[in-house]
Amino acid sequence: MSNKLTIIVPCYNEEEVLPETVQALGLILTNLIKQGQIDNDSKILFVNDGSQDRTWDLIKKYEDEYPYVTGLKFARNYGHQNALLAGMTTAVKDSDLLITIDADLQDDVNAIYEMVAKYHEGYEVIYGVRSSRETDTFFKRNTALAYYGLMKKLGVELVSNSADFRLLSQRATQGLLEFKERNLFLRAMVPMVGYKSTKVYYARKERFAGESKYPLRKMLKFAVDGITSFSTAPIKMVMNLGFMITIIGIILFIYAIIQKISGHTVDGWASLMISIWVLGGVQLISIGVIGEYVGKAFMEVKRRPRFRIEEDDYSKKENK
Ligand code: UDP
Ligand code: MG
């Protein structure tokens, strides 16, 4: 059985950390090879996501220097998730285990040893989970926490405090790549693939050098993408609001009629009040109904795989 590992590293303007990253990951890789945990031809794959700085030149240089370094270059900036996807698509062909990790060394590279050990125990999906976020700002820590909570409420399965540091087996990666959607939120897609999974804990560190490549604007877009790509709950909320307003309308209707009969009203008040509330409610319900169909169409156009077989004893028997 072969055990070729590829470590996929998305890089966007990372010239400041790259020298350190290539050292740290190279050390891990060579150690794992020495220990016989992974094959000699294991690789580090840097994906240059349209950097404007010297990132690609550095990757080229390391390719010459180290036999285990390879690179992919995007024609422009396509974003972190697409860089991960491209790396996996390229490496999955001949890699038995694939690890994705950020270039900035915030995730503890030493957790890779444990991930590989877990892989040998038979796990195929291994999440890197932050046991502490002390180095994150108060703002980031709490917004992240609230966000994970909200996603759970909306019915999106996520592994709390895990981002894009994980190990996937070859077939789990193939499974992930069968998700054909354009709006990528990989961390919520991975649990949908299935297979035996586990977690490896590590303390998240400060960025080694350089600045975060996720400014608030990008982070917000990513967060909204995460919700709207996995859940039609916001559409259902419109529908529920419609029902609520309609009920209020009906109560007001009764109230207005009583007021009208007892003669407490100005002319036209009752009919105006009733039409505002009842019509408003009916309109919201109608939008909700249309939304339900749009939501269904939205889920259909994703063309997600409907199942993934882990073991097929039937075909095994046929081939005997
Ligand atoms: N990244 C990328 N393309 C982008 C933005 C970020 O490939 O458009 C990479 C970046 O180089 C890093 C990883 O994604 O390896 C995570 O980015 P960063 O560390 O800046 O995010 P943060 O940890 O601040 O959330
Ligand atoms: Mg980072």
| Contact call for residues 197 and 123 (beta carbons, < 8 A) | yes
Ligand closest to 218 (CA) is 1
pLDDT in the model for residue 312 = 66
The mean pLDDT values, 10 residues at a time, for the chain of 320 residues are 93 94 95 94 94 93 94 90 93 95 92 96 94 77 84 83 92 92 86 92 83 84 84 84 89 86 78 83 87 83 73 69
Q: Which atom of ligand 1 is nearest to the CA of 10?
A: 7
Closest residue by CA, ligand 1 atom 2: 80
Q: Can you read off the two tokens belonging to residue 141?
A: 């820590």
Q: Where are the beta strands (DSSP E) in 12-101?
A: 43-48, 69-73, 97-100
Distance (angstroms) between ligand 2 centre and the Cα of 135 equals 11
pLDDT in the model for residue 109 = 93
Closest residue by CA, ligand 1 atom 14: 80
Shortest CA distance to 80 belongs to which of 279, 222, 227, 196?
222
Domain ranges of the chain: 5-211+306-319, 233-302
Distance (angstroms) between ligand 2 centre and the Cα of 207 equals 6
Q: Which atom of ligand 1 is nearest to the CA of 83?
A: 7
pLDDT in the model for residue 313 = 65
Spatial separation of the C-alpha atoms in residues 125 and 169, rounded to whole Å: 7
pLDDT in the model for residue 224 = 84
CATH assignment, 5-211+306-319: 3.90.550.10
Q: In what order do the strands lie in the sheet with 43-48?
A: 69-73, 43-48, 5-11, 97-100, 162-169, 125-132, 197-203
Q: Which atom of ligand 1 is nearest to the CA of 211?
A: 20
pLDDT in the model for residue 156 = 83
